[in-house]
Amino acid sequence: MPDPKNKLSTNSEGSDPNWFAYATEHSEVIPDLLIELEKETHQKVLQPRMMSGRLQGRFLSLLSHLTQAKTIVEIGTFTGYATLCLAEGLAENGVLHTIDCNEELVSIQERYFKRSIYDSRIIRHIGFALEVLPRIKGPFDIVFIDADKENYEAYFEAVLPKMRVGGLILSDNVLWSGKVLHQADPKDYNTLALQKYNTKLREDPRVQTILLPLRDGLTLSRVLTNHVE
């Protein structure tokens, strides 16, 4: 349950729509390859909104650099935008495993990964994440959960025992266009799953969690222990 102590009495941390554009303009320059991938995703792929945006992409890159990640796992590749951002911070000899069940996305992923300097370090898995995850060897430094919302909790539990203590589990779209703020329709399974997941992460003593209102909501959970009770 949300803690009433955390409730704001004023809108002191509220946002202005122009802040986002300003923040993006005053952050690191976006690599040209990512600009191209973003454009092609918008032109040719259904539901381009699923792609991590520019600001979130830069944030993922920074987190990956800060962690000096040796093993990153991404659940939900889509066209590979976040994959390339996360790969930027891989340690020497580090690898990034990315999983997606949609074979139609393979050609765009392959074309852009091949053009990047990270191609040899990106391992693509085609299949359902819960079936693929047990085959990927840990320890994991960063896991980016960004696939079907109903399975977020299952993904979290599947990766936690393989996380390095101090590693990061990132969960995307946790605000779900703001739907998590309101009572969900009993048939809106995605919103219900995310509401339950957000509460679970906050209360789980195995992680230190912060939900950032970045883009569609990005939660960072630092792993305190990887022992499952």
Q: Where along the sequence are the contacts to ligand SAM (CB under 6 A)?
A: 50-52, 74, 76, 78, 81-82, 99-102, 105, 128-129, 146-148, 151
Q: Pull the structure tokens for residue 28.
A: 């690191």
Residues 123, 29: Cα–Cα separation, whole Å: 26
Shortest Å distance, C-beta 48 to ligand SAM: 9
Q: How many CB atoms lie within 10 A of CB 142?
A: 26
Give the nearer residue to ligand SAM in terms of CB position, either 88 or 146.
Answer: 146
Distance of CA 214 to the CA centre of its chain: 11
Length of the chain: 229
Nearest residue (CB) to ligand SAM, 133 versus 207: 133
Supply the minimum distance, in Å, between the C-beta of residue 225 and ligand SAM: 27
Q: Return the structure tokens found at 204.
A: 């789980």
> Least distance from C-beta 18 to ligand SAM, angstroms?
24
Q: Pairing mode, if any, of strands 207-212 and 218-223?
A: antiparallel
Q: What are phi and psi of 2, to 5 degrees?
A: -60, 140
- Residue ranges in the chain assigned as alpha helix (H): 17-25, 32-44, 54-67, 81-87, 106-115, 129-132, 152-159, 189-203
Beta bridge partners of 9: none
Whether the CB-CB separation of 182 and 228 falls below 8 Å is answered with: no
Shortest gap between Cβ of 8 and ligand SAM (angstroms)?
Answer: 29
Shortest CB 77 distance to ligand SAM, Å: 6
Q: Quick one: 60 or 201, whose CB is closer to ligand SAM?
A: 60
Q: Which is nearer to ligand SAM, 212 or 224 (CB)?
A: 212
- Residue whose C-alpha is closest to residue 1's, from 220, 201, 151: 201
Residue with smaller CB distance to ligand SAM, 74 or 141: 74
For 94, the token pair is 């580090």
CB of 68 to ligand SAM, least distance (A): 21
Closer by beta carbon to ligand SAM, 74 or else 88: 74
Q: How far is the CB of 13 from ligand SAM (least distance, A)?
A: 25
Select from 65, 56, 63, 135 the least CA-distant residue to 97: 135
